[in-house]
């Protein structure tokens, strides 16, 4: 990259890093005024049978899941497997759900899921869907709030380390994806190249992807913008006046490829990329950009057939800023910024400069003015770099050390996490001065206020998502669940109310008023609408059929028996498919199905649903199967037997129940 | 559809007793000791709150009922013999058509609150599941039950 004019460099951005290392990760828990008091206890107590006020949707990080907590109670309500196999339900194990984890690298049963992001209408979370990114093998998933299940996963080609994702525009027109780890790309095809790693500066590139979201939530990559090979870290779309823009932080503008800890921390400023997504979309719609081969899978739940399907999409459209000026600009931002957060009015763009001693606040209005006046201080690969002094609106002083992420309360205040100084800092969007601060235990990464990144935050609670737990809970060996802390932000002073442990490594969370989601809930699947090709809707239709070495068992469950529950005629060498349909039509009556020796998980079949387990018996004998989910007083009686005869034997297929 | 939504409400207000017996039938009706009205004691608790008169046998309605029964009920009931639940061919010997329809449509409340329903639950141990049957479908099922001939009992 071309060097930037550094005459306006502010020396105090360079934090004496060594000096603050000593402060990291060691807090001395002082007695909070409120924590542990009966006042705090009353504020978080949700009486038996009562419901929480908010759903908290937390990423599971390296669990590949999303976890659901009630707020203010901190109760763990549910876990949604997304980029992970879940033995508890058979997600990723059953024939119906395995296609969800299909990629061009094959079946990938794990990922690192970072950022839940809710769909929005008019800049407000609408409770339809929640998206989450996969960092490792780049993907984005959509979870349907109607049933809290993963409905779709799309793979992102021409990218690696999909971190700045999946941030949503104000009417869910697009969600973002981007390259955190740039990779060498062929100039024409963008294919990953076999080149020396040391040729980073010359060959490595990044992409910013815009995924179009359809009426039913279906995701398609509309276009990718080719960008210099920095590390694109986080993103947020604008809102209100800035609604047509998306902002992406970057670090490693040094383009280092080894020991980034040191080598990517040299520049005093990195960039926030401002993308005019609406303009880019119009250009692409008018035939700009080029379509290139980029095979990637789109896996989706076919609700009619109740099973996931994979389709291979062959191409993407790539648009180059050099050939299409005006779609992207760089805002210099101190220093190695993590979060980029847009206030509820859409006027301010706040960078979480994690190595900066001030918190930079850019003005959208000034940015537009600088673009119009061509007030540039340089350019990188054809992308204009705006003049810092022309776009910066304020620098918040004393905002803590290691600032990462800011959300808003809708009452004129912003709240920023400071990882190194282990605190949440409250500051005014009018004076840009810090008005309050509170210690967290320990080292917060992100924070969450319900609706806190939308146009209508509900500024009652804040959750700090801490990275380090240490002594906060009963010890559980070397590894402890991460500690989240609920903070009351309804008054002038922040007050700590509650610690609660969270599963995996929650990076990020979203909150939404429970009422919005509650009214959308499906209680069971209508049996009439189950068009699974292997569904069995009445006991009279249950049967066992041989097809070469495949044996298909069409089975039903209802409290509390299987039909059929005695099966004979299976042979060693057969592949036995148990297609199990749960005939119940009532809320919260799933049945389980487990088969001795099956090299897979159980099935947990919701009422009205069909799920398939494959069993390849290895030895002759009689093998029991049973229901795992306690369903009635006679649940223990819910069992059956499958007889396995030696290969080549002539025991005919036979089956039955109660005869 | 209104009938369905009533059923849904009844089926899902499992606890808390928010809407219990506030506007159930005739408020001046005599209350039996179990808190149920005389009507409910005889005809069950549920969305059918008027006595259903069985007229001439309607064979085409019975055919319809048989199809619905086969789809939604045969996992637990057989026409002439006990299975998970009782043989349905003899139900109308014991119960009114109205009671039978309420049992089909509102099994959860019936097996919890109605003394006869509770007795059945104790005898059979498996709860009769809610199967999303409309009032018209329940009526057709009852018509089908009228056509089932039970075998002679051996004494």
Which positions in chain B touch A523 (Cβ < 8 Å)?
A: 12
Query: Contacts of residue B72 in chain A, CB cutoff 8 Å?
Result: 538, 585
CB < 8 Å to A537, chain B? 71
Q: Decide if A539 and B75 are in contact by the 8 Å CB cutoff.
A: yes
- Output the pLDDT for position B11: 42
Residue to substitute from B10, B129, B134, B137, interface A, most A β-carbons within 10 A: B129
- Looking at the predicted structure, is the pLDDT value of residue A17 above 50? no
The predicted structure's pLDDT at residue B120: 94
In whole angstroms, give the CA distance from residue A512 to residue A72: 12
Give pLDDT tens digits for B97-150.
Answer: 999 999 999 999 999 999 999 999 999 988 899 988 999 999 999 999 999 999
Residue of higher predicted confidence among A405 and B7: A405
Contacts with B131 from chain A: Cβ below 8 Å: 585
Chain A contact set for B132 (CB, 8 A): 526-527, 585
Residue A118, C-beta contacts closer than 8 angstroms, at least 6 positions apart? A57, A125, A126, A127, A129, A130, A131, A168, A510, A512
Contact yes or no for B70 and A540 at CB 8 A = yes
Q: Are A64 and A52 in contact (CB under 8 A)?
A: no
User: Does any CB of chain A come closer than 8 Å to the CB of residue B15?
Assistant: yes
Neighbours of A635 (CB within 10 A): 18
Share of chain A above pLDDT 70, in %: 95
Q: Which of B7, B16, B71 to mutate to test the interface with A (most CBs of A within 10 A)?
A: B71
Question: B15: which chain A residues are within 8 Å (Cβ-Cβ)?
Answer: 49
- pLDDT tens, A47-69? 999 999 999 999 999 999 999 99
Q: Average pLDDT in the A365-386 region?
A: 97
Q: Compute the distance between CA of residue B118 and CA of residue B128 in angstroms, rounded to an integer.
A: 11
Of A49, A556, A633, the CB nearest to B75: A556
- If one compares B75 and A140, the residue with the highest pLDDT of the two is A140
Cβ-proximal residues to A462 (8 Å cutoff; 6+ apart), any chain: A407, A409, A415, A424, A447, A448, A449, A452, A486, A487, A489, A494
Residue contact B127–A632, C-beta within 8 A? yes
Is residue A124 classed exposed, middle or buried when 0-12, 13-18 and 19+ CB atoms within 10 A define those classes?
A: middle
Burial B88-127 (b: 16+ CB within 10 A, else e): bbbbbeebbbbbbbbbbbbbbbbbebbebbeebbeebebb
Nearest to B74 among A526, A539, A584 (CB): A539
Contact A559 B126 (CB under 8 A): yes
- Give the model confidence (pLDDT) of A467-478 as tens digits: 999 999 999 999
Say how far apart CA A273 and CA A209 lie, in whole Å. 13
- CATH-assigned architecture of domain A54-519: 7 Propeller (2.130)
Give ∠ CA A424-A426-A432 in degrees, rounded to 5. 135
* pLDDT score at B99: 98
Smallest CA–CA separation between B137 and chain A, in Å? 14
- Chain A contact for B12 (CB, 8 A cutoff): yes
Contact A538 B71 (CB under 8 A): yes
Q: Report the pLDDT value the prediction gives residue A632, as an integer from 0 to 100.
A: 86
Q: Is B18 on the interface with A (CB under 8 A)?
A: no
Res A152: pLDDT? 98
> What is the average pLDDT value for chain A, to the nearest integer?
94
C-alpha distance from A589 to closest chain B C-alpha (Å): 10
Which burial class, exposed, middle or buried, applies to A259 when counting CB atoms under 10 A from its CB (0-12, 13-18, 19+)?
exposed
State in Å, rounded, how far the first CA of chain B is from the last one.
47
**Inter-CA distances, B155 with A10, B152, Å:** 104, 9
Domain map (residue ranges) of chain A = 54-519, 527-656
Using a CB-CB cut-off of 8 Å, the residues of chain A touching B79 are: none
d(Cα A407, Cα A415) in Å, to the nearest integer? 5
Cα A616 to Cα A15, A95, A321, A542: the distances in Å are: 61, 14, 54, 21
Euclidean distance between CA atoms A118 and A132, whole angstroms: 9
Chain A CB contacts of B126 under 8 Å are 559-560, 632-634
> Looking at beta carbons, which residues of chain A come within 8 Å of B71?
537-538
Q: What is the structure's pLDDT at B154? A: 60
Which pLDDT belongs to residue B155?
Answer: 52
Residue B132 has a pLDDT of 87
Is B16's Cβ below 8 Å from some Cβ in A? yes
What percent of chain A has pLDDT above 90? Answer: 92
Contacts of A634 in chain B (CB under 8 A): 125-126
- In tens, the pLDDT along B41-66 reads 999 999 999 999 999 999 999 999 99
Q: How confident is the model at residue A253 (pLDDT cuts 50, 70, 90)?
A: very high
Q: Tens digit of pLDDT for each residue in A512-543?
A: 999 999 999 999 999 999 999 999 999 999 99
pLDDT tens digits, A630-648:
988 889 999 999 999 999 9
B26 pLDDT higher than 60? no
Same fold, A54-519 and A527-656: no
Q: Which of B12, B68, B126 is the mutation pick for testing A, counting most A CBs within 10 A?
A: B126
Q: Which residue of B has its CA nearest to A635?
A: B126
Among the residue ranges A234-243, A312-321, A352-361, A369-378, the one predicted with the least confidence is A352-361
Q: Tell me, what's the pLDDT at A113?
A: 98
Q: What is the pLDDT averaged over residues B22-30?
A: 41
The reported pLDDT for the residue numbered A472 is 94
Q: Are A227 and A152 in contact (CB under 8 A)?
A: no
Q: What is the pLDDT of residue B47?
A: 97
Inter-chain contact B12–A559, Cβ cutoff 8 Å?
no
Tell whether B96 lies on the interface with A, counting CB pairs under 8 A: no
Dump pLDDT digits (tens) for A599-621.
999 999 999 999 999 999 999 99
For residue B19, the model assigns a pLDDT of 40
Q: Are strands A495-502 and A482-488 parallel, antiparallel or unpaired?
A: antiparallel
Q: Is the pLDDT at B15 greater than 60, yes or no? A: no
Q: Which of B83, B127, B129 sits opposite A585 (nearest CB)?
A: B129
Q: Is the pLDDT higher at B30 or at A428?
A: A428
What does the pLDDT read at residue B3? 47
In B, minimum Cα distance to A538 occurs at: B71
Can you tell me the distance from the alpha carbon of A218 to that of A172, in angstroms, rounded to the nearest whole number? 11
The answer to whether residue A194 scores a pLDDT higher than 70 is yes
Residues of A with CB under 8 A from a CB of B: 49, 523, 526-527, 537-540, 556, 558-561, 563, 583-587, 589, 632-634, 658
The hierarchical CATH code for the domain A527-656 is 2.60.40.420
Kind and range of the H or E run holding A245: strand A245-251
Closest CA of chain A from B130, distance in Å: 6
Does the beta-carbon distance from A538 to B74 stay under 8 Å? yes
Residues of A in contact with B83 (CB under 8 A): 658
Q: Could you tell me the pLDDT band of residue A37, with boundaries at 50, 70 and 90? A: confident
Q: Do A589 and B83 touch (CB under 8 A)?
A: no
* Number of other residues whose CB lies within 10 A of the CB of residue A619: 9
Query: Which neighbouring-strand residues pair with A567?
Result: A642, A655
Q: Please give the average per-residue pLDDT across A348-359, as a whole number.
A: 93
pLDDT value at residue A11? 40
Q: Which of A625, A616, A621, A529 is nearest to A580 (CA)?
A: A625
What pLDDT, on a 0 to 100 scale, did the predictor assign at position B71? 87
Categorize the per-residue pLDDT at A441 as very low, low, confident or very high, splitting at 50, 70 and 90: very high
Average pLDDT over residues A300-307: 97
């Amino acid at each position: 990259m071309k060097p930037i004019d550094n005459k306006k460099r502010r020396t105090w951005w360079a934090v004496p890093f060594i000096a603050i290392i000593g402060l990291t990760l060691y807090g001395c828990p002082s007695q909070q005024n409120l924590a542990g008091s009966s006042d705090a206890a009353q504020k978080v107590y949700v009486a038996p049978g009562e419901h929480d006020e908010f759903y908290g949707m937390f990423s599971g990080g390296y669990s590949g899941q999303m976890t659901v907590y009630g707020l203010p109670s901190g109760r763990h309500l549910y876990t949604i497997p997304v980029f992970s196999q879940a033995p508890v339900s058979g997600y990723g194990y059953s024939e119906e759900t395995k296609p969800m984890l299909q990629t061009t690298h094959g079946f990938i049963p794990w990922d690192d899921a970072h950022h839940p992001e809710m769909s929005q209408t008019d800049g407000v979370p609408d409770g339809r869907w929640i998206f989450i990114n996969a960092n490792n093998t780049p993907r984005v998933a959509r979870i349907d709030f109607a049933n809290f299940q993963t409905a779709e996963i799309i793979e992102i080609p021409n990218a690696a380390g999909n971190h700045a994702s999946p941030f949503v525009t104000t009417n869910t027109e697009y969600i973002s994806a981007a390259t955190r780890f740039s990779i060498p790309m062929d100039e024409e095809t963008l294919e990953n190249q076999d080149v020396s790693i040391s040729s980073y500066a010359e060959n490595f590139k990044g992409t910013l992807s815009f995924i179009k979201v359809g009426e039913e939530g279906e995701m398609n990559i509309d276009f990718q913008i080719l960008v210099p090979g920095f590390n694109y870290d986080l993103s947020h779309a604008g809102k209100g006046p800035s609604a047509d823009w998306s902002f992406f932080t970057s670090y490693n503008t040094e383009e280092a490829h080894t020991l980034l800890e040191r080598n990517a921390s040299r520049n005093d400023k990195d960039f926030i990329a401002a993308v005019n997504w609406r303009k880019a979309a119009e250009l692409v719609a008018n035939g700009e950009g080029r379509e290139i081969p980029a095979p990637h899978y789109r896996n989706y739940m076919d609700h009619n057939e109740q099973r996931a399907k994979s389709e291979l999409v062959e191409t993407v459209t790539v648009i180059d800023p050099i050939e299409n000026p005006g779609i992207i600009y760089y805002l210099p931002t101190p220093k190695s910024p993590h979060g980029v957060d847009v206030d509820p009015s859409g006027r301010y763009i706040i960078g979480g400069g994690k190595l900066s001693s001030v918190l930079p606040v850019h003005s959208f209005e000034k940015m537009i003015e600088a673009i119009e006046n061509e007030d540039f201080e340089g350019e990188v690969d054809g992308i204009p770099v705006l003049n810092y002094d022309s776009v910066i609106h304020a620098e918040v002083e004393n905002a803590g050390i290691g600032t990462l992420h800011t959300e808003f309360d809708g009452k004129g205040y912003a709240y920023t996490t400071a990882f190194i100084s282990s605190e949440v800092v409250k500051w005014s969007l009018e004076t840009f001065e810090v008005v309050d601060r509170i210690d967290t235990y320990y080292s917060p990464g992100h924070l969450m206020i319900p609706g806190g990144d939308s146009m209508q935050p509900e500024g009652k609670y804040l959750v700090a998502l801490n990275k380090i737990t240490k002594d906060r809970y009963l010890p559980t060996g070397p590894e402890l669940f991460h500690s989240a802390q609920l903070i009351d932000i309804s008054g002038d002073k922040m007050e700590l109310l509650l610690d609660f442990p969270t599963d995996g490594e929650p990076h990020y969370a979203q909150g939404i008023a429970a009422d919005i989601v509650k009214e959308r809930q499906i209680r069971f699947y209508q049996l009439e609408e189950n068009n699974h090709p292997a569904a069995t809707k009445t006991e009279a239709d249950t049967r066992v059929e041989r097809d070469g070495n495949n044996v298909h068992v069409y089975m039903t469950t209802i409290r509390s028996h299987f039909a059929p529950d005695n099966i004979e005629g299976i042979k060693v060498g057969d592949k036995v498919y148990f297609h199990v349909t749960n005939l119940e039509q009532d809320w919260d009556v799933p049945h389980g199905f487990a088969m001795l020796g099956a090299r897979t998980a159980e099935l947990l079949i919701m009422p009205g649903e069909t799920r398939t387990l494959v069993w390849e018996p290895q030895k002759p004998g009689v093998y029991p199967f049973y229901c795992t989910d306690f369903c009635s007083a006679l649940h223990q009686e819910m069992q059956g037997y499958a007889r396995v005869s030696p290969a080549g034997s002539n025991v005919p297929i036979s089956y039955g129940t109660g005869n | 559809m209104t009938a369905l939504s009533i059923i849904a409400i009844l089926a899902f207000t499992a606890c808390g007793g928010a809407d219990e017996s506030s506007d159930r039938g005739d408020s001046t009706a005599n209350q039996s000791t179990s808190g149920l009205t005389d009507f409910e004691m005889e005809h069950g608790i549920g969305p059918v709150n008027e006595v259903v008169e069985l007229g001439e046998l309607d064979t085409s309605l019975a055919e319809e009922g048989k199809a619905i029964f086969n789809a939604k009920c045969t996992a637990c009931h057989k026409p002439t013999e006990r299975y998970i639940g009782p043989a349905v061919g003899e139900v109308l010997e014991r119960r009114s058509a109205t009671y039978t329809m309420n049992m089909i449509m509102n099994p959860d409340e019936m097996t919890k609150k109605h003394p006869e329903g509770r007795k059945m639950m104790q005898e059979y141990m498996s709860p009769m599941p809610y199967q999303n049957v409309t009032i018209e479908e329940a009526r057709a099922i009852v018509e089908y039950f009228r056509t089932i001939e039970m075998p002679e009992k051996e004494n």
